[in-house]
Structure 1
Amino acid sequence: MIAATSIDESSPHYRGWRVVLACFLMAFFMFGFGLYGQGVYLAELQRAHGWPGTLVSAASTFSFLLTSVLVIFTDDLLARIGLRSLILCGLSALGASTVLLALMAATWQLYLAYALMSLGWTGMGTVVIATVLNSWFERRRGLALSLAFNGATCGGIVLVPVLLSLTGSIGFRSAMLATTMAMVVLLLPVIVAFIGWPAETSPAPGRGGPAGGARPTHSRKALLGNPAFWTMVLPFAIALLAQMGFIVHQVTFLEPVIGRSAAGLAVTIMATMAVVGRLSLGLFVDRLDPRLASAASMTSQAAALFVLLQSTSPTVLLACCAVYGFSIGNMITFPPLIIQREIGRDAFAAAMGLGTSISGIVSAFGPGIVGLARSLTGDYTMAFALCVVLDLVAAGIVLWRPKPRGEAQREGEGMSAS
């Protein structure tokens, strides 16, 4: 139990809510530049340099895969350099990446920019955000995570249109430099003023708190050999694979059926519902079993996709996208809640880093698998049906609760004795 539970976490004066604000802004810029902004970079770099789309897309894939490797070592970095230093390094790397994207003139600089973006993800991504909020909240942890991770969706809703608008008026280079400057001006003082571990809490092993330099005490090999850990990681990796596949192919599927403008509206509705879903669930998620809630979310996405395949009505299709979007954001909110409850605080950063890496690598194949299924069959029916099956399989796995090894061993000895 952390020291923060001895005070009122619901009070607006509790310092943890200022940490939530800092994490919201970190997610806003990290996801805005590092994920949603990549579509803008693809178009503008092709236009400015004449580079083929495959070259820029390959750099994006390289960045996501490198990120999935680097996040494994988040707990080591927290232990070695500390929380605030890691986040400031992440901010510096992301800023350097976006400046380089604005000024680049050669293809090697493209890959350097995307490598720096991966370092930004390591310092300001979901693992760091979940780890720091886990230390500040016990009773209101779910709400805190929901609010902070809403910054990710808002980054796509706000930052990308701003980038596009500025690019149209002052050019891509100036737009990237201006938004990068705005990020540094907003984030730097917030990180310095608000980010830190709770003062009352002695640093857990591997948390890089005031005692610093302590090495993490958990073995990643032990985590990988723990069946319970896989029931926390594998279902979300599978669900995110299906989710990434649908999101990337959503417009291509809907446009021939309901038109370009309605397909764009469907994306907006889905993104908006992702915010609504996080906020509404965050109000009472701390009173729910996160495994049951995860299974319900995965099942609702499967149901939405199933109905979507059966209808051509614009109203029904938009409603399906809204239902699907309601659970999108919660796919990154549930894992830290389950890990904290079942693995504990001391192993939290190690488990989150390893789990995020596995999910990132698996989900990266989602768009390709859906695209391949469409190519082989000629339409999206089989591709999205596969996504339905994957969601249902994920829901079944997350409900499985392996017994701790010690307990299982004692039961086995008891049966042998009898």
Structure 2
Amino acid sequence: MTIALHTTRPPLRIGLRRAEMAALWLALALQSGALFPMLAAASDGDLTAGARAMLRLLTLPVYAVTLTLAVRHHRQIIAAAQRSLPLLMLTALPVMSVVWSINPSLSLRRTVALVMSLLLSYVLAVRCTPRQLMWLIGSLLGLCMVGSLGLLVAAPHLAVPADGALRGIFLHKNVLGWAASLGALAGFAMTLDREGGFRARGAALATVSLVCLVLSRSGTGLMSMMVGLALIGFHRLLLRCRGMWRPLVLLLALAVAALVLLFLGAFLVPLLEALGKDATLTGRVPLWHQVDLRIAARPLLGYGYQALWSEASSIAWQIWYAIGWQAPHAHNGYREVLLNIGMLGGGMLAYVLVQALRRALHAHLSRPGDGWLWPNVLLGQVLFMNLTESTLMMQNDMQWIIVCAIVIMLACRRADAAAG
């Protein structure tokens, strides 16, 4: 006599699962930089100290969601932490930097936020598959794009500042540009995913994101999307290659990337001038010169996590006086890490990222049906964005939260494969 087993999930478990995903979506939305910073900003677009304090209150529901789900799934998170020790060691450096920080209280406060961001990454990693994470981020960014276009229609004076570029529901056009770039690439990945069931929604996401990207006039966002498209083409080509063709294509891609970097190093300034753009990358080149001098002054351990860029820092005022504007960060994620935790932290970050890129490529090639194309593209896209912006190891930042979640997913997958 055979007994038919009912394999569907109980309604209560399905309801809890949906509630968890909704809570995670809300937590990421509050960390996305959408709507609230724009509403809190002054008429000139700057955030006052009072506005920043109000925005910090928005992290409280994020932390509540994070802690609740972390307690609920603590066994899975502990197991994931044991499998991703390099990432934990990397995050421990900012915590230890409080000891040598030039502003210990500020570093301490921001490292608490960084640790909470990492904990949210662990929750995402143990509760989502790569495909589910892609849909979570894609649906969030899609709503942000629709909201930005809706604001353009309903209140164009809010959506489009004096420079004529769309900022939508974000504080600055570049933030909209980054979000639109990430949204477009997520949409393309959904459209190409035959097994995920998101193809139509992916096409809609890509379309609305491209419209916002064009209207934002964000050079960083546009270049980031082009890099992402190149990465999609590369990974799809590599998947079709067999035998010796794969390492040959990989070597060719590395050679092309090296040539592009050499070309940009030699001809970036005349190229920008020919296109009518600011050859200083809107003041970034003088900023980087000043930042490099400060990195050289404290190369090994840096100045402490997020300690340099504050009005209490005499070093920050020296940089601001030299460049003529108050830069909020180094406008380069790699330089920012060196400022914060020195070459020790920079080397550890490089190890974590290179290991993640290698594992992500292996996951995509060995299990193409599991949805690993998007994580590969997102990692490359974020690394490119950080050539001119600073999101690496940034507290309460959606990009870094997603990157860490992918790193943890890959570490767990590697450990499971080794055990099985």
Task: Assess same fold via TM > 0.5.
Answer: no
TM-score scaled by structure 1?
A: 0.29
- Give the number of the structure whose residues are more often helix, by fraction: 1
Structure with more relative contact order (C-alpha pairs < 8 Å, separation 6 or more): 1
TM-score scaled by structure 2?
A: 0.29
